[in-house]
């Protein structure tokens, strides 16, 4: 077992990297590292998973087939990330009848699942999963791609290869400091995979793709850099160097929500995090979130979160390690 570090996200930090901010709010509570050794023929079917999985093919190759997507052949040294994936199958061939993953992994020893006799030609996959127990998880998971694939020969794949060597060594070790090493390795893997997705030759759709857009991305970064500023649609359109109507349409098309609605959602995400950590007063949060009064902030918070800031904070105090969403 290992967990990603909780990155403190103070609402008044003048950050300009939205990806760093999003990862700071992920707050994963559990990551399980595991290894799979499998000799042909083999196939394992996994049920939908509501969070994130990361993996690398250390040796051999295997097929990854997600419902609704074309099958993908993962080769030695490749990396993959699955965000809120549907049912999927991993196996030596698409024609092999899969076994259900849950009973197989229930019999795994020390996080290692072996299918068939271990041999030099067995496929070896190493990875892990992490889930979120946070009121912001649904918002953040919505922006993650279902699948990110980084090939071994890519520039980022070569960099990830060095991390993979460390990950494989740590997963199988009982060394002092192992949880801390795995904490940081997992977070670095996540950042690299998101970078790889955002920097594809064909820009991805959605929030990550919008960050790469010269105009809409500039407005997104401006909002994240100064959450307390009372942004208007005209100001954001000016940052993007677009007309108001063209900016509003392009932003909604790429991000999935109107600019000011996105800003409200992001402010409330930061506010929920601060309330959960009980790091500042509600009055301070109102100012830091760009509202003229505590009353206006409370109204917006209730509309988005389904409860008042005080109710949310009180509930989080009673149940600090569980989902505090309404």
Same structural domain, 183 and 303: no
The CATH number given to whatever domain includes residue 79 is 2.60.120.280
Same structural domain, 138 and 109: yes
* Residue 289 scores a pLDDT above 90: yes
Q: Out of 14-18, 111-115, 139-143, 298-302, which region has the weakest mean confidence (pLDDT)?
A: 14-18
CA separation (Å) from 221 to 17, 224, 229, 270, 306?
7, 5, 13, 15, 28
Same structural domain, 242 and 280: yes
| Entry pTM | 0.73
Residue 323 belongs to a domain? no
Tens digit of each residue's pLDDT (9 = 90 or more) over 43-93: 999 999 888 888 899 999 999 999 999 999 999 999 999 988 999 999 999
Same structural domain, 186 and 231: no
Tens digit of each residue's pLDDT (9 = 90 or more) over 172-226: 677 787 777 776 777 777 778 877 777 766 666 678 788 878 999 999 999 999 9
Residue 145 belongs to a domain? yes
Same structural domain, 127 and 232: no
Residue where one domain finishes, among candidates 201, 222, 241: 201
Same structural domain, 178 and 53: yes
Same structural domain, 173 and 214: no
The whole domain housing 155 covers: 18-201
Residue where one domain finishes, among candidates 201, 218, 248: 201
Q: Are 268 and 274 in contact (CB under 8 A)?
A: no
The CATH number given to whatever domain includes residue 294 is 1.10.10.60
Same structural domain, 83 and 230: no
Joined tokens for residue 254: 């790429």
Same structural domain, 82 and 164: yes
Residue where one domain finishes, among candidates 201, 222, 253: 201
Long-range CB pairs of 93-100, under 8 A, 24+ apart, other chains included? 93/40, 93/41, 93/43, 93/63, 94/63, 94/65, 96/41, 96/42, 96/43, 97/43, 98/43, 98/44, 98/45, 99/43, 99/44, 99/45, 100/44, 100/45
Residue 1 belongs to a domain? no
Same structural domain, 87 and 230: no
- Provide the number of structural domains found in the chain: 2
């Amino acid at each position: 077992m290992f967990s990603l570090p909780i990155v403190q996200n103070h609402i008044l930090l003048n950050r300009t990297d939205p990806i760093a901010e999003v990862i700071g709010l992920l707050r994963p509570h559990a990551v399980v590292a595991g290894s799979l050794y499998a000799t042909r023929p083999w196939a394992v079917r996994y049920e939908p998973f509501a969070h994130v999985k990361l993996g690398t093919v250390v040796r051999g190759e295997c097929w990854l087939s997600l419902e609704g997507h074309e099958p993908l052949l993962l080769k030695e040294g490749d990396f993959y990330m699955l965000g809120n994936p549907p049912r999927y199958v991993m196996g030596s061939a698409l024609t092999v009848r899969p076994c259900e993953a849950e009973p197989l992994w229930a019999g795994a020893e020390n996080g290692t699942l072996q299918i068939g006799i271990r041999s030099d030609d067995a496929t070896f996959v190493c990875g892990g999963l992490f889930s979120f127990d946070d009121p912001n998880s649904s918002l953040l998971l919505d922006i993650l791609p279902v699948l990110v694939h980084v090939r071994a020969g890519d520039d980022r794949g070569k960099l990830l290869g060095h991390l993979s060597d460390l990950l494989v060594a740590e997963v199988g070790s009982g060394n002092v400091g192992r949880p801390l090493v795995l904490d940081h390795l997992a977070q670095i893997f996540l950042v690299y995979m998101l970078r790889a997705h955002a920097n594809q030759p064909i820009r991805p759709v959605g929030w990550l793709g919008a960050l790469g857009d010269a105009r809409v991305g500039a407005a997104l970064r401006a909002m994240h850099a100064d959450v307390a500023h009372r942004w208007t649609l005209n100001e954001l359109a000016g940052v993007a160097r677009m007309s108001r109507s063209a900016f509003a349409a392009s932003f909604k098309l790429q991000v999935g929500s109107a600019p000011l609605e996105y800003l409200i959602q992001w402010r409330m995400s930061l506010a929920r995090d601060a309330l959960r950590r009980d790091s500042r007063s509600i009055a301070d949060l109102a100012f830091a979130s760009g509202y003229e009064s505590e009353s206006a902030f409370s109204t917006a918070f209730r509309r988005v979160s389904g409860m008042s800031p005080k109710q949310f904070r009180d509930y989080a105090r009673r149940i600090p390690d569980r989902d505090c969403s309404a």
